[in-house]
Structure 1
Amino acid sequence: MAREHGSAGKQVGKVIAEKLNIPFYYKEVAALAAEESGLHKEFISDLNTNSPGVLHDLYLSTSVVQQAITAQEQIIRKIADQGSCVIVGRAADYVLRNYENVVKIFIYASEEYRTHKVMEVYGDTQAEAVKNIRRSDEARAAYYHSISDMRWGEAHNYDLLIDSSIGVEQCATAICSFLSCLKKKQK
Structure 2
Amino acid sequence: MTHPTDGPEMVPADRFGPPQDDLQRLWTPHRLVYIGGQDKPADPTPESCPFCRIPAGDDEDGLVVARGADCYAVLNLYPYNSAHLMVLPYRHVSDYTDLTDAETHELAAMTQRAMRVVRAVYAPAGFNLGMNQGEVAGAGIAAHLHQHVVPRWPGDSNFLPVVARTKSLPELLADTRERLAAAWPTA
Q: TM-score, normalised by structure 2?
A: 0.30
Q: Please identify which structure carries the higher helix content.
A: 1
Q: Which has the larger radius of gyration?
A: 2
What TM-score do the two structures reach when normalised by structure 1? 0.30
